[in-house]
């Protein structure tokens, strides 16, 4: 007996059952000892069976009457006594059962048992998400629409109810429990072989680090995706072997850096996150003087990016909480504030960044700045997703939403690991290289290529995998060919090729067409819809693959046999 719920029931029902047995026994003995009279006035004694039968229906208050014969007065006296005895015993038992149903401890155990069995039934790989908030909700929505299985744990019961109301398909099992306890992670199935990753994106760095360490200790193979906003903490997490650490401020810092120094690298990265493959005019950042308002973690990260890019900047330290306390309002822009902006050089600055923790202050900083210098480029930090429509209508040039960035990166890490690697590799390239790649991509595919990644294994590329396993040599270029005419290529490009080898991963950025494919390799592909269809046909269907390779039809059966014989001779 594994589940605790059964034990709780058994334990609680012991005394009621004992009481029922004893009261039954006493009643039966009494009934058998007291003599009764039959219809003719002869003395008779209850047999065990009669007594048991009578007590059973009396105790449960069913009451069929006095059988087999009408009772004598001594019998009735005894029955009167036993009615109270057994009925009380019986009610006590029923009362206990009702109390058990309402018992919090039992309900909790039952919920845990249901949750466990749901997770055990998951056969495909799944991901544990700790905490249900704006960020993780977006991650869950995206992953769920891709059909990736997710398990959610949150401390708050009401949030779990929210998940249940969302009607996710496939189902997202959720339970409320203390996420900082190892027991919780065990319940959520961290020991299971198909548990691929744990997502830990709480506000508190220390809490994140603690949970990440716990996950690693419980299961070495599991990937932990953890948020960390300070260098020391990140260092600490790396030491315990966590590969994927997300620092939203670092991500924004890198983005700003590339946006200024290498806009095409920035463009490629943004394209992977859903941007079109073209830089709009207003997305080019000016290279003049920058003003950063708010010098917290975000402000520091942005200042760091500007420094690396060699851009002049001034920072104004505005702490949102202090500001609100001092001025009793969240509206920035009184005489003192304006003076401060002018002193920082707002008139000749080319860009202002509002990076405080308060959305209202950020908005008013930028509107004040625009009044003072209408040509200035405005960048805002947006803290909560709820205010998004206000920001959109405020005509701000660029908005950084920490929560959304975090959600997108996490999603990418889980669903598109190849795209993530691609981003890391292009960060090491320069702007000219990126510009050439963007030019080539727009020329071959168009303005908005779609992106997908695929592993060339038996499940996803049946024909190709089997041919490769036979020892056939197939170059990558074959997969580009059109199914209508093998001499022309589809609108498709391979961005990244990766193959696992014994001494590690072999990763090739922009692989050549004559590269020989290894079975089980992974590809990151940019293409249009038609090309994707052709590509998937070619790798899965023997006849299409044959046509793409040789430009003629494969004849199965007898004709094919003769053909292959004649070729051999």
Partner 1 sequence: MNFQKVISGFFFILAMTTNFGFFYGDPSNIEFHSSWELFAAIVVNLIATILKLGDKTQLGSVLLATSLVADIQLIGAASVWALAVYVLGGLNLESTVVIISMSGGALLANIVSVLLFIGDTLKSKR
Q: Which residues bind partner 1 (CB under 8 A)?
A: 1, 7, 10-11, 13-14, 17-18, 21-22, 25, 28-29, 47-49
Q: Is the dihedral of CA 138, 143, 147, 148 positive or negative?
A: negative
Between CA 249 and CA 270 the distance in angstroms is 17
Shortest distance in whole angstroms from residue 183 CB to partner 1: 18
| Cβ atoms of residues 540 and 462 within 8 Å | yes
Q: Are strands 43-44 and 36-37 parallel, antiparallel or unpaired?
A: antiparallel
User: From the CB of 43, what's the least distance to partner 1, in Å?
Assistant: 18
User: Which residues sit opposite 523 in a β-bridge?
Assistant: 454, 497
Closest distance of CB 457 from partner 1, Å: 46
Nearer to partner 1, 17 or 94 (CB): 17
CB of 48 to partner 1, least distance (A): 6
Both tokens of residue 252?
């924004």
User: What is the number of other CB atoms lying within 10 angstroms of the CB of residue 113?
Assistant: 16
Nearer Cβ to partner 1 (52/537): 52
Residue that the structure tokens 């198909």 belong to: 194
Burial 31-68 (b: 16+ CB within 10 A, else e): beebebeeeeeeeeebeeebbebbbeebbeeeeeeeee
Instruction: Say whether 313 sits in a helix, a strand or coil.
Output: strand
C-alpha span between 291 and 352 (Å, rounded): 5
Tell me whether residue 26 or residue 425 sits nearer to partner 1 (CB atom): 26
Q: How far is CA 39 from CA 35, 51, 69, 176, 265, in A?
A: 14, 18, 7, 67, 106
Q: Which is nearer to partner 1, 48 or 57 (CB)?
A: 48
If the CB atoms of residues 55 and 127 are measured against partner 1, the closer one turns out to be 55
Nearer to partner 1 (CB atom), residue 28 or residue 277: 28
**Smallest gap from residue 32 Cβ to partner 1 (A):** 8
Please count the residues of the chain.
Answer: 569
Distance CA 194, CA 124 (A): 6
Give least dist CB 412 to partner 1, A. 47
- Count other C-beta atoms under 10 Å from residue 302's C-beta: 27
CA distance 366 to 377: 9
Q: Is 6 or 77 the residue whose CB approaches partner 1 more closely? A: 6
- Residue closer to partner 1, measured from CB, 99 or 516: 99
Residue 7 or 284: the one with the smaller Cβ distance to partner 1 is: 7
3-state secondary structure of 17: helix
Can you say how many angstroms the Cα of residue 483 is from the centroid of all Cα atoms in its chain? 38
Give the nearest distance from C-beta 167 to partner 1 in angstroms.
Answer: 39
In the complex, the smallest distance separating the C-beta of residue 115 from partner 1, rounded to whole angstroms, is: 22
β partners of residue 500? 505
**Alpha-carbon gap, residue 400 to 302, rounded angstroms:** 11
- The residues that bridge with 336 in the sheet, in sequence order, are none
Closer CB to partner 1, 28 or 369, in the complex: 28
Instruction: Give the Cα separation of 478 and 464 in Å (integer).
Output: 11
Q: What strands lie across the sheet with 223-227, from one edge to the other?
A: 174-176, 149-154, 126-130, 195-200, 223-227, 244-246
- Residue 11 or 221: which CB sits closer to partner 1? 11
For 528, left (φ over 0), alpha (ψ -120 to 50), or beta? beta
Q: How far is the CB of 78 from partner 1 (least distance, A)?
A: 17
Phi and psi (nearest 5°) for 225? -105, 115
- CA 202, distance to chain mean position in Å, is 13
CB-wise, 96 or 133, nearer to partner 1?
96
């Amino acid at each position: 007996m594994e589940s605790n719920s059964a034990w709780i029931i058994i334990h609680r029902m012991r005394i009621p059952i004992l009481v029922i047995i004893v009261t039954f026994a006493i009643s039966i003995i009494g009934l058998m000892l007291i003599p009764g009279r039959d219809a003719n006035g002869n003395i008779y004694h209850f047999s065990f069976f009669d007594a048991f039968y009578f007590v059973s229906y009396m105790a449960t208050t069913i009451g069929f009457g006095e059988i087999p014969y009408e009772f004598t007065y001594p019998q009735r006296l005894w029955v009167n006594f036993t009615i109270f005895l057994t009925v009380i015993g019986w009610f006590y038992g029923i009362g206990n059962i009702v109390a058990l149903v309402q018992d919090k401890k039992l309900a909790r155990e039952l919920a845990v048992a249901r949750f466990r069995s749901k997770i055990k039934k998951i056969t495909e790989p799944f991901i544990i998400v700790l905490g249900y908030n704006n960020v993780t909700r977006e991650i869950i929505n995206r992953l769920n629409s891709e059909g990736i299985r997710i398990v959610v744990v949150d401390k708050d019961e009401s949030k779990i109810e929210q998940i249940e109301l969302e009607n996710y398909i496939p189902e997202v099992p959720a339970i409320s429990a203390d996420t900082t306890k190892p027991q919780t992670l065990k319940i959520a199935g961290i020991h299971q072989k198909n548990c691929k990753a744990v997502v830990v994106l709480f506000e508190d760095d220390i809490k994140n680090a603690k949970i990440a360490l716990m996950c690693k200790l419980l299961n070495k193979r599991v990937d932990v995706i953890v948020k960390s906003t300070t260098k020391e903490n990140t260092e600490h997490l790396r030491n315990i072997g966590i590969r994927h650490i997300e620092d939203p401020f670092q991500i924004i810092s890198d983005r700003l850096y590339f946006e200024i120094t290498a806009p095409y690298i920035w463009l490629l990265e943004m394209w992977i996150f859903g941007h079109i493959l073209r830089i709009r005019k207003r997305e080019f950042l000016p290279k003049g003087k920058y003003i950063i308002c708010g010098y917290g973690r975000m402000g520091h990260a942005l200042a760091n990016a500007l420094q690396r890019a060699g851009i002049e900047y001034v920072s104004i330290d505005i702490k949102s909480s202090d500001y609100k306390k001092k001025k009793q309002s969240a509206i920035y822009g009184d005489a003192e504030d304006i003076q401060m902006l002018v002193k920082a050089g707002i008139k000749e600055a080319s860009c202002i960044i509002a990076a405080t923790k308060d959305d209202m202050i950020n908005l008013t900083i930028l509107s004040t700045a625009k009044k003072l210098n209408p040509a200035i480029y405005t960048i805002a930090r947006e803290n909560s997703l709820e205010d998004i429509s206000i920001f959109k209508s405020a005509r701000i040039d660029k908005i950084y939403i920490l929560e959304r960035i975090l959600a997108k990166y996490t999603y990418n890490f889980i669903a598109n690991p190849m795209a993530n690697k691609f981003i890391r590799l292009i960060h090491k390239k320069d702007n000219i290289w990126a510009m050439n790649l963007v030019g080539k991509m727009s020329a071959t595919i168009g303005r908005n290529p779609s992106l997908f990644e695929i592993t060339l294994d038996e499940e996803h590329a049946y024909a190709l995998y089997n041919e490769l396993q036979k020892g056939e040599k197939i170059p990558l270029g074959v997969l580009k060919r059109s199914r209508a005419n093998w001499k022309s290529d589809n609108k498709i490009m391979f961005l990244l090729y990766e193959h696992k080898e014994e001494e590690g991963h072999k990763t090739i950025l922009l692989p050549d067409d004559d590269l020989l494919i290894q079975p089980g390799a992974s590809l990151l592909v940019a293409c249009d819809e038609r090309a994707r269809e052709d590509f998937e046909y070619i790798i899965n269907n023997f006849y299409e693959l044959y046509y793409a390779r040789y430009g003629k039809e494969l004849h199965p059966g007898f004709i094919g046999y003769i053909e292959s014989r004649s070729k051999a001779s």
